Structure 1
Amino acid sequence: MGYDIVTMGPLLCEIMRKELDKPLDRPADFTGPYPSGDTAIMLNAAARLGARCAMIGVVGDDGFGRCVTDRLKENGVDCSMIRVHPEAATGTAFVCYYSDGSRNFLFHVHHAAPGMLEPEDVKPEKLAGSKWLHVSGFTMSVNQASAEAIYKMVETASPESKVCFDPNIRPEALSEEEIRKLCMPVIRRADIIFPSKSEAAMLTGCATDEEGCRSWAADGKIVVLKNGDQGCRIYSGTEAFDVPGFSVEEVDPTGAGDTFCGAFLTGLTEGMSLEDCGRFANAAGAMSVRKQGPMEGAPSRAELEAFLQEQTNT
């Protein structure tokens, strides 16, 4: 019996400013480390909600590596495919927040352990029978070896395995043409795509996200456009509908979209309708922003169900 969800990508520790409006080029206090990495955040959320999950990645033989892998293990993620590199340091992300809601990140990824991911880390025989293989554009953008590892996972996937793609790639890292070329092999194979604002238009070349999402849906894909605290818009075939979000007090928005993806995929593995998956995922994403640290607010199944029941009763 395979996993419900398998993913790969940079395993990071996040270190953040304690106060607002403290840029990264000036001395000021930090807090952390917090376990992080977009695909790891997604998988941690799914595991906490009951999915059988496995992670592929590389960490250093250091405290930061243990910080992130210990968290995943605590929540039930199979970490046997995470390689410990004897010489490279675990990846880090420094972040500062501003009063206007914007953030600034400084990643140490390309020349750290996350940049050591390679196709040989993918073991197709271990992935056979998995329900979902989750891919992030951020992973593919690290370097060519990381992209080749993703392509190998997708190309050698069992016929019964479905592929999920979350673009999550920063236009400032590559040109739009380079991003499209990089992502196209995964988009062709993807069964579901989770774009954020502007990504559907960028990746399809359409004038708007609406047009881009509908073009993917016309190709037979499920498309879930993430709209932050507004919820999500789901496209399937010729149908499109909105699932409203939930209002909560935000402490730290980092990882909310990844938590959303993990919850949505968990719902799919359990046979929920697309609308129910959207509501389930919107709730998980909302709950995740109530604590500092990208994995800290990920709810347990009991916490999420209690939150949804509370929302139904109000």
Structure 2
Amino acid sequence: MTEFDILVVGEANPDLLLRGDVRPRFGQEEQLLTAADLVLGGSAAITAVGCATLGLRTALLAAVGDDFFGALVRDQLTTAGVRLMPYAAGGVPTGVTVILSEPDDRAMLTLPGTIAALRPQDVTDALIQSTRHVHVSALYLQPGLAGGLAEVFKRARSLGRTTSLDTNWDPSGAWASLDDILAHTDVFLPNAAELSAVTGAANPDTAAAQLVALGTTVVMKDGARGARAWWPDGEAAAPGRPVDVVDTTGAGDSFNAGFLAGRLGGHDLPESLRWATVAGSLSTRAAGGTAAQATRADLMP
């Protein structure tokens, strides 16, 4: 019996979410906002809270500083039922992201801080053995972890654990090859633009086929259209759920939580994909990534 159902590895930081007249105009021109919210952010943290909300025993390995932002992160994770694993940040400030949110798009400004602190050796065999599944988020914000993640996932599989990865966007635009990592990844969870960037293929079917050939299942988020999934002997699609969208921040992370909760709960891929699309859709009903996340009751047929 493991202590956790899922260990999420990645980043945890506050998001300062701004809405209203958010497109900056320089020249000392003052602009007025309609809302400003300081909320829990970070792809890994939002995924972890989503998993806990859906009933999974959830641990999070993320570097968090000993500062005001770090205290805020710890408090919100504790309230959500997520166990933040001990990590010495060594005086590095907690990262923070400023999100300029519009109804159909957003821009993000990130101070990396502790976000980039994790290293492969921080994901110890003892941590891996404490969980059923290892999920990694925001890979391209964590170059130190990325360089050894293939070995981390290889160790996880050798210990009988399953693995999943959501790279998120690559701010550098380099999109370094993931082949070594995906060879040890059970589920890859990109959005449509990320899938194209990772593979260089514009057609999702072509792109997914390249990655399925490496042995991974590809689960692609496709915004309001829902999602698609491909695996070695099949594929599936699921529509999104219509909602009145307030903010799309973290919707992909809530999608991940829905999918992983479905799979770890014993559901097949098509049903887990349905859980994912509903969880992602419902999360957009409020500002920030965690305020409106789905419960298990929300995902029942």
TM-score (norm 2): 0.89
Alignment match, 1:103: 106
- The correspondence of residues 141-220 of structure 1 with structure 2, limited to 5 A, is 141-148=140-147, 150-159=149-158, 160-170=160-170, 172-176=171-175, 179-180=176-177, 183-220=178-215
Instruction: Please name the residue that 1:312 is paired with.
Output: none
Aligned equivalent of 2:42: 37
Q: 1:258 to 1:12 in 2, by over 3 A?
A: same
Q: Equivalent residue of 1:257, what SS?
A: helix
Partners of 1:243 and 1:116 lie apart in 2 by: 36
Tell me the equivalent position of 2:278.
283
What's the offset of the Cα at 1:151? 4.2
The equivalent of 1:298 in structure 2 is 293
Contact 2:13 / 2:73 at 8 angstroms: preserved in 1? yes
Structure-1 separation of matches of 2:30 and 2:108: 16
Name the CA distance, whole Å, in 2 between partners of 1:222 and 1:70: 35
Tell me the residue number matched to 1:133: 134
Q: Which residue of 2 aligns with 1:113?
A: 114
Tell me what 2:62 maps to. Answer: 57
- Residue type at the aligned position of 2:217: I
Distance 1:283 1:143, change over 3 A: closer
3-state DSSP class of the match of 1:59?
coil
What secondary structure sits across from 1:202 in the alignment?
A: helix
**Contact preservation (8 Å) 1:201, 1:211:** no
The amino acid that maps onto 1:298 is Q
Match of 1:88 in 2: 92
Q: Deviations over 1:42-99 (max 9, x none)?
A: 1110111011111111111122112222222222212133x25252211100011236
| Structure 1 stretches of 4+ moved >6 Å | none
How large is the RMSD of aligned CA atoms in angstroms? 2.2
Q: Distance in 2 between matches of 1:166 and 1:92?
A: 20
Q: Select between 9-18 and 247-256 the one with higher mean Cα deviation.
A: 9-18
State the Cα distance separating 1:152 from its structure 2 match.
Answer: 4.8
1:245 partner SS? coil
Structure 1 residue ranges without an equivalent (≥5): 310-314
The percent of aligned pairs where both chains have the same amino acid is: 26
SS in 1 for 2:246: coil
SS at match of 1:163: strand
Equivalent-residue separation in structure 2 for 1:154 and 1:236 (angstroms): 19
Q: Distance in 1 between matches of 2:268 and 2:25?
A: 44
TM-score, scaled to structure 1? 0.86
CA distance in 2, matches of 1:143, 1:272: 31
1:251 partner SS: coil
Counterparts of 2:193 and 2:231, CA distance in 1: 19
Partner Cα separation in structure 2 for residue 102 and residue 142 of structure 1 = 21
The one-letter code matched in structure 2 to 1:92 is V
| 1-structure distance, mates of 2:151, 2:95 | 23
3-state DSSP of counterpart to 1:14: strand
Tell me the secondary structure at the aligned position of residue 94 of structure 1: strand
